[in-house]
Amino acid sequence: MNNKRNQSLLQLGLVIGIAVFLNILGNVFFTHFDLTEDKRFTLTEPTRKMLKNLDAEVYINVLLAGEFNAGFKRLQRSVTEMLDDFRSETGFITYTYTNPGAGTVDEINARRTELAQEGISPTNLRIKTTSGTEEKFIYPYAKISYKGRTAVVDLLDEEAVGVSPDEKLNTSISQLEYKFANAFHKLQSGAKEVIAFTVGHGELSERERADFQRSLRAYYDVGTFNLDSAIVIPSDIKTLIVAKPRGPFSDRDLFLMDQYVMNGGTVLWLIDPLNVELDSLRNKTSYVARDYPLNINDMLFKYGARVNPDLVLDLQCSKIPMVIDQKGAMDLFNWYYFPIIIPTSDHPLVRNLDGINLYFPASIDTIKTKTPVKKTVLLASSDHSKLQPNITRLNFEILRYGDEIAASFDQKQIPVAVLMEGVFPSSFENRVTQEMQDGLQQINQAFKVQSVPTRMVVVSDGDVARNFLNPKTGAPLALGFNPIDRFTYSNKDFLLNAVEYLRDDAGIIAARGREVKLRLLDTQKATQEKTFWTLLNIVGPLVLLGIFGIVYNWLRKRKYAGMIKS
C-alpha cells in the first residue's frame, strides 16, 4: 500500500511540476493559435515589423479601469488582448490600468483638470442598476510614453452618427491595432510631420474644411501654403492637399508642385472640374455647368490621370428635399448627382469602409505614362450609373420620372477616385523657362525630369472634404454627416486613410482595414429555443457529472474486486 501511495504522490508532484513549468514557459514565450474567422488575434505584418524595431521601453497607461457595462468590459478586454499581442512581439511594452474616477472628490477634480489640459475629455456612461440608471464619467483613452515623447490614443469611436452603441464599440475594437500601431509609429518618427492645404485658388475655406483639419491635427502639424509667395515647396511638407480649387494655377505654381512631386512629395487632389452647385439649380429653371479654369489638366494627364468635364449619376445616391405642393410641404427625393460610393476594392486604403457621399463627381480616366506608374481605382460608381456631358442642361425635371429612368443607368464601375504610385514624369520636360531655371538656381536645386518613387491620390469631387455648417450657429458639423438624411458617411475615414497611405512608408494602414465582425443573436430563434438551451445548460452538466460518477465507481469497484479475488 505504501508503494501505491508513494507512486500516487509522485504522479501528483509530476503533474504539478509540468503545470508550473508550462506556466513559466508561457510567460517567457507567449504564443497562441488564432482560430477566429476574422483573425482578430493576429497582428498585421507591418505592425509586427514596427514593434520589433522598438529600442526603448514603451509605457502605456490605459484610463479604463473600473466597473462598466458589458459593452465597455468587452472594449477593456479587447485592449488587454491587443496589448498582450504587442508584448508577444517585443519585450519593450509595459502597460497599466488607471481609474480616473477613483479617490476623493478633490483628487478626482484635480485629475479631470489635468486630463482636460491634455485634450482628454470624458464620456458620459449610463449604467442600469437595480434602483434605476446611474451616470458616470469614464475616460476611454490610453496615454503612451516613448523616449520622453507622449501620445494619446482615443479608444472609442465617438464620431460615428446614426449607428447603434454596439456597432460603435465594434468599430472601436476593430481599430485598436491601427490606433496603437499608428501612435507607436508616430512616436518613433519623432516630430510631427507637416501637412499643408494649398490656398490662393478658391479652395475650400477654413470653416468648410474645419473638421478634416481638426482630425488631421491629432497626428500632424496642419497648415496652409500659398504657392504665389513661395520660391519652393519645402521638403518639410510631406503631403499637399489641393481641396476644391476654383481659380487657375499659374505655370509658376504648377512648376513648384511638379518639382515638389519630383523630389518625393505626395499630393491629395480633390478636384471639381465643373462649376455646379445645388444652389445654382434652385435659383434657375435650368443650368449648364461650366468648366473651372484650373489649368491643371495637362499636369494630371502627364502623371497618368484625366478628370473629365462630365457628371456621374448613380441610382445609389443620397436625397434632397423638394417642395411638393403650394402649401410648402417638403418631401425627399433621390438626387442621382449625389452618389453613395460603396468601396469594392480590397486595397487597404478603402477596405471595409462604408458608403462615401460625393457631390456632383466626374469620371476619371487612367492614362499610360512614360515612366512606370501603377494606377489603382479606389472608388467607382455602382453597376447602375451613367455619365452626363457638361453641355447637358441640369434641372429638377429628372425627379419627375422616378423609377422610369432606371433603365438608362446602364454603365458600371465608373472611376471617381484613383491612386497612382511609382516614378512620375515631369510635366515640364522640355519646357522649362529661364525664369524657372533661375528660381531653381536660387535654392541650389537641379531640374528633375522624373520623380523618385512617390504617390498621389486623385478624387473627382472637392466637396468630399467639405463639412456642412450648422444653419443656426454656423459651427462646422462632422465631416461626412449629411444633414438631410441625418447619416454620417465615411468621407472622413476615406480622406484620413488617403493622407495616411500617402505618408505611410511602414504600411501601418493595413491594420485600419481590419474588420471584427459583430455576430448578433437571431432574437426570434433565441426566444423560441430559450427553454431548450436553458435546460441544456443547467441539466446537461449535472447529467455529465452523474455519468462520470457512475462510471468512476463502476471502474473502482471492478478494480478492487479483482484485487480481492487475487
Distance CA 104, CA 13 (A): 49
Q: Where in the chain is the domain with CATH 3.40.30?
A: 18-179
Dihedral pair phi/psi, residue 133, rounded to 5°: -120, 130
State which H helix or E strand residue 488 sits in.
strand 487-488
Instruction: Quote the pLDDT of residue 9.
Output: 62
pLDDT in tens, the chain (566 residues): 555 566 656 666 665 766 666 566 555 555 555 545 555 567 888 888 888 888 889 999 998 887 777 778 888 898 998 999 888 888 889 999 999 888 888 888 888 888 888 878 888 776 666 566 667 788 889 999 998 888 888 888 654 444 456 666 777 888 888 888 888 888 887 777 899 999 999 999 999 999 999 888 877 899 999 998 888 999 899 999 999 999 999 999 999 999 999 999 999 999 999 998 887 777 676 778 889 999 999 999 999 999 999 999 999 999 988 877 777 777 888 899 999 999 998 888 998 788 999 999 999 999 999 999 999 999 999 999 999 988 778 877 777 776 678 888 889 999 999 999 999 999 999 888 888 888 888 888 889 999 999 999 999 999 999 999 988 888 899 899 999 888 889 899 899 999 989 987 666 776 666 655 544 445 556 667 778 888 888 888 888 888 887 887 787 777 766 665 55
**What's the predicted TM-score (pTM) here?**
0.76
Instruction: Quote the pLDDT of residue 520.
Output: 46
Specify burial of residue 314 (Cβ count, 10 A radius: 0-12, 13-18, 19+).
buried
Q: Where in the chain is the domain with CATH 3.40.50?
A: 191-513
**Beta pairing class for 481-482 and 305-307:** unpaired
* Average model confidence (pLDDT) across the chain: 83
Q: Which of 251, 296, 291, 293 is nearest to 270 (CA)?
A: 296
Instruction: Quote the pLDDT of residue 157.
Output: 67
Top-tier CATH class for 18-179: alpha beta
CB 453 within 8 A of CB 422: yes
Instruction: Quote the pLDDT of residue 240.
Output: 96
Contacts of 449 (CB under 8 A, 6+ apart): 262, 425, 426, 429
The cell for 362 is: 466626374
Instruction: Quote the pLDDT of residue 459.
Output: 97
CB 462 within 8 A of CB 244: yes
Contacts of 301 (CB under 8 A, 6+ apart): 367
Instruction: Quote the pLDDT of residue 162.
Output: 43
Query: Which fold, 191-513?
Result: Rossmann fold (3.40.50)
The cell for 145 is: 510614453
Q: Is 264 left (phi over 0), alpha (psi -120 to 50) or beta?
A: left
Instruction: Quote the pLDDT of residue 403.
Output: 67
Contacts of 298 (CB under 8 A, 6+ apart): 427
CB 79 within 8 A of CB 176: yes
Specify burial of residue 524 (Cβ count, 10 A radius: 0-12, 13-18, 19+).
exposed
